[in-house]
Structures are given as C-alpha cells and as structure tokens.
C-alpha cells in the first residue's frame, strides 16, 4: 500500500480512473496496527479492481479535518475524485468488515451512471 505524504498526491491519486480506497491511520493507533497483518492479503484479493493508499492522519491533519476523519483506521472509497462510500468509526475493524465495505464500495461504483 502506497503511503501518500501530501494532499496533492492524495488528490492526484483519487482523481485517477478506477477505484481508490484511502486508508487513514496513525502510528500510535493500536487498531491501525491490528489490521496491518491481513491488509496485504486484502489488497491482493482486490488487485486490479482497487488501488489502496495510506494516509497518516498526523501528517495531513488539515486534509483529515476537511474529510471529517474522526476515528481511525478509516476507509474512504473514491471513483474519479468523487467519494463513493466510507467506513469511518472509532471501533476496531475486522478483516470481514473491511472486505464487506470494499464489496459494497464496488457495488455502489458499478451502479453509478457512466460518463
């Protein structure tokens, strides 16, 4: 998962074609560390359909404030720069919950009108 360190890199990535899921984390977050062991397998499962990027909440606090990121880890799915769906809460996320979110994001994106 690519770690984006600037708002410009984030904006450029989400504007690309296809789906980008931004994962907002922090180094001090125990729940963020909880998901680390299985996220590479999740990324592999959705390879070719979803690009995953990581944003450290403490590196880009203004962006996170603008996006309403309160609890971490948080996930936001984007298609061509537009938010499709988000999974934001202060609770620990399981692999199953994350995969359900990704599946839902793909379903929503498929239902969007094509330009």
Token pair of 55, please?
A: 């944003």
Instruction: Tell which residue, 81, 65, 77, has the closest CA to residue 11.
Output: 81
The H-assigned helical ranges of the chain are 7-15, 30-35, 39-45, 61-67, 95-111
- Active site members: 29, 32
């Amino acid at each position: 998962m690519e770690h984006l360190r600037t708002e410009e890199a984030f904006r450029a990535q989400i504007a690309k074609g296809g789906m980008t899921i931004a994962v907002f984390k922090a180094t001090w977050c125990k729940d963020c560390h909880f998901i680390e062991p299985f996220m590479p397998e999740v990324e592999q499962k959705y390879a070719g359909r979803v690009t995953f990027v990581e944003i450290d909440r403490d590196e880009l606090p203004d962006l996170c404030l603008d996006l309403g990121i309160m609890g971490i880890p948080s996930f936001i799915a984007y298609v061509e720069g537009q938010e499709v769906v988000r999974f934001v809460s202060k609770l620990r996320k399981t692999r199953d919950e994350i995969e359900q979110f990704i599946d839902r994001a793909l379903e929503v994106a498929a239902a969007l009108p094509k330009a």
